[in-house]
Structure 1
């Protein structure tokens, strides 16, 4: 049971009607909540009792009247899929690092990105790559054995260890390290365990303990790394990607207005875009997609009507000021 599981199941919960997949999603969540509550009952007795009464006693009059009268859950080992757990753990790690890259680049999640490169001990299949693409709004995920085209390393001496050994040569060591080819130096360090060079006739040998190592990204790329995984986002945005970012921003603004107006999920609306021809043109070009997302029967450029049924709001859409109007039809 985790926030990640609930997040990944949202579309199943929100699906129209009551298809079998939606029923399965609800029953899985229900079973997990009840089982976790029973497991946690000895530690948090009052909270789990409240959850149990809401979830179980309210619908099953034959159930024990208290969670503390229930049998303790028994693990069904046949349902354990270690490979699935390991793969999903890897997916979650990549997604978390990808979000960190977006934050570092100050790119909102609604702005699509072209490609993300991943260096990891294992490559994930298409099913898992689709999850990563959806979560991070990237068009492609590429697993690679080498990210040196996008990243490099910088080295500085660790003064507390290098100072006592090479005190007089410290200035020369700093200059030598600053001039290194970062990727080549990192390869040498990993293969030989040492960086070796000469400073004014003095042989210098530096291990990882003697160095402050930082991975830096080349222009147009943002990276995050831990001990086993490196993630690189290509932050170069094409005109098509930028336009798509505007589309998702407009959709988000309209959905916010629907919520603020108190419209029901299935209510259809009419939309107007005013005071910004650039936004209006993007909306016209992508009208079918936007209309489908926000349930708009009609989308027009120009001012909204003057009746009270129109809800109008000024918005900043990725730096562009526009006025959006909606009304229920």
Structure 2
């Protein structure tokens, strides 16, 4: 036996003797007897030892027998070394004639028989099982067999530089697409364009068996001119099998009658010609030039860089000298909610019809529009429920809010819009933000970045229109007076909703149409019949107030921090507080807060807003090393780092961390250590009576001191909340006014109602609000909780 020296330990078992040692080069060129030389197919085949860098001694003997007719690498090696090539199986995997007892048997079924045959001939030393990477059918998992066949190729080396230059003239989304395509083009081999199939593009290649000459027919006209037989059977049919196979042409070299090769084209050859097989390329070039190249193509990117994208670029560049498209939008794959591939056999596939019925197509479209297209999409009912909750419902609730109160008040959009400059601040702000939104959305869509556009719309609708503009203006819609201020609120909200319906139209065609029909067409029959027939919005720069937008953004940031501080201190928003103190890293942010302090006062239910110059007056920072992160990184040196961090100014370190900057420390030996923001933990330590929250740009501190007056006002707000809940339980209309009688044994609740009687009555639309000893068992009776106290009320609809 010959065995690689490094393989002896694995290959040879038991006692053995090494007779001699040779170098591999000593064996190269020697001939040997094959294991199946007795088969007719092996007659005359000479087996030679050759060298191959890919042979490893990690498994087996370190010596490999290759089969050039059964593997790509083996075949390539045989061409270099001029080895005999035997193709043993048919398309069905059955051994061909010349293989004696193997002939007629399927290659999948004879492994044990081959092993027995080798043992009968005394050839094996021993047999063992080992793991081997092998291709399988992607659909059913059946092992595949390599088979050597003749195919047709296009030589690509000459085209390669042109294809790469053409690719560089295009724009790819995401941008890494160009890099992947160029990588494929730089490393591609010749393009195999034929397939052993029946259905498909009939390759117009006529290969003469007599003299070896082959010709490619370029058109149906040329085919008719060259045909010597079979045209009658073909005429009237498309150039596909079986009709085109009837035609024979005369060989231009020897005159023999030649049939078309039986192969059909690679499907990507067919798909890649789309830019030249449509729009009258062959018959009306002027018309074709109006549409070429295409502005956009789109396809899921796995596999397409070497398939469709490649085929399009290759064929169009070869024939026109340029790429057939200007922009490519690519995206990853859809998976289930756990990230697994969807398959019917796994039971995790969701069929489109079911999803359309149960989820809604617009909800699905919004999910697709807002995700990162370069990452696989997890799809399922939970994910889409979250999309509906996160955006669809807030949008519909905003629309419903407008419609409900506009109907109650009988509001009609005035023929002449009220001057924007004369409207209240919040109106001017949302109009400004709406115009900034138009700019952002148009820019995203024009760059084929739907995610940027969709996320901007979602932020505007949810955070700015619903959670801020409508929330801050509810009393303007609720008040009984139909004055200019109320009309301006309606007009502003109406215009914002119509604008959103137009911006959404390309992404959510059905929901946007529903909004448009109800908001616009229902009151203006002369308006375009569909939102999809309106002009897409264009920003009006004259209505954009960037300073106001910046100011309100600072206010919203402070409000978010204020809510977070309340939550941390477990103080509900209904409880008024004395003050909020605001510290910003940017002086302009502090100025914004001062300019719009009234918005903060009301929203956070505080009595004062003050700038805080020195955080040290009310809070301090505590910094600590992030041990789970730093421990494995620094080991024993962690103690010195911890000590250096404790010596550093905690506020300065906190500022660096919040800004996302590196923290540089000097340890005891004088060397420096740089810590990433994630490697340092920062905690706020508040003085007694304060609650705080911070971001990278601001710190907000709430004074949580409660006076008796503040406590009483908080109780009054709790009463309002309780009576509003009772209104809902009685299913009263929003506009219904009520009469309220109440009773409670808790004196603090009685005092709160009496002190804030006007406020409570206004909030709950009460014409009367009177104490009573006898409210039980009456119509509209409800027992409510106000803090820990019990409040009994009798609510009746006012006459």
**What is the TM-score of this pair, normalised by structure 1?**
0.84
Q: Does 1:281 align with 2:751?
A: yes
- Alignment match, 2:433: none
Separation (CA, whole Å) in 1 of partners of 2:632 and 2:493:
59
Residue 186 of structure 1 is matched in structure 2 by 651
Residue 24 in 1 paired to residue 494 in 2? no
Q: How far apart are 1:7 and its partner, in Å?
A: 2.0
Q: Is 1:92 the equivalent of 2:556?
A: yes
Structure 2 matches for 1:121-140, cutoff 5 A?
121=586, 122-123=589-590, 124=592, 128-140=596-608
- Superposed displacement of residue 12, structure 1: 2.1
How much does 1:65 deviate?
A: 1.1
Pair 1:148 & 2:616 matched: yes
| Aligned partners of 1:221 and 1:235 also within 8 Å | yes
Task: Report how far residue 165 of structure 1 moved.
Answer: 5.4
Query: What corresponds to 2:723 in structure 1?
Result: 254
> CA contact under 8 A between 1:274 and 1:301: conserved in structure 2?
no
Give the distance between the partners of 1:69 and 1:208, measured in 2 at CA.
57
1:38 aligns with 2:508: no
> SS at 2:617's partner residue?
coil
Residue equivalent to 2:686: 217
State the partner residue of 2:381: none
Q: What is the count of residue pairs matched by the alignment?
A: 320
How many angstroms does 1:206 deviate by?
A: 5.4
Cα 1:119–1:65, aligned 2, differ >3 Å: closer, same or farther? same
Give 1:292 deviation, angstroms. Answer: 4.2
- Distance 1:88-1:81 versus aligned 2 partners, 3 A rule: same
CA gap of 1:204–1:115, structure 2 versus 1, over 3 A, is: farther
Q: Which residue of 2 aligns with 1:325?
A: 794
| Partners of 2:472 and 2:520 in 1: CA distance | 25
1:267 to 737, 740, 752: 737
User: What is aligned with 1:10?
Assistant: 474
Q: Post-superposition shift, 1:146?
A: 1.9
Which region of structure 1 is more displaced relative to structure 2, 4-13 or 72-81?
4-13
Take 2:505 and 2:598, find their aligned partners in 1: how far apart are those partners?
Answer: 37
Deviations 1:116-159 (A, max 9, x none): 11111222365511101111101111112222222211222344
- Name the residue aligned to 2:702: 233
Comparing 247-256 and 225-234, the one that deviates more: 247-256
Gaps of 5+ in 1: none
Instruction: Give 3-state SS (helix, strand or coil) of 1:237's partner.
Output: coil
**Deviations for 1:166-198, whole angstroms, at most 9, x for unmatched residues?**
82672x7657866x6x8x433478699645575
Q: For 2:610 and 2:473, locate their aligned partners in 1 and report how far apart those are by CA, in whole Å.
A: 25
Whole-angstrom CA distance in 1 between matches of 2:750 and 2:476: 33
Could you say what secondary structure the match of 1:156 adopts?
strand
1:48 aligns with 2:512: yes
Aligned to 2:481, what secondary structure does the other structure show?
coil
**C-alpha distance 289-32 of structure 1, shift in aligned 2 (>3 A):** closer
Q: Quick check: 1:299 aligned with 2:763? A: no
- Which of 1 and 2 has greater Rg? 2
Could you tell me which residue of structure 2 aligns to residue 63 of structure 1?
A: 527
**Deviating more after overlay: 120-129 vs 219-228:** 120-129
CA distance in 2, matches of 1:84, 1:269: 42
Q: CA RMSD in A?
A: 3.0
Range moving further from structure 2, 206-215 or 227-236: 206-215
Q: Contact 1:97–1:231 (CA<8 Å) still a contact in 2?
A: yes
Q: Which has the higher contact order (CA 8 A, sep 6+)?
A: 1
Instruction: Flag the structure with higher strand content.
Output: 1
Long gaps (5+) in structure 2: 1-459, 657-661
Query: 2:565 — aligned with what?
Result: 101
Distance (Å, rounded) in 1 between the aligned partners of 2:626 and 2:763:
55
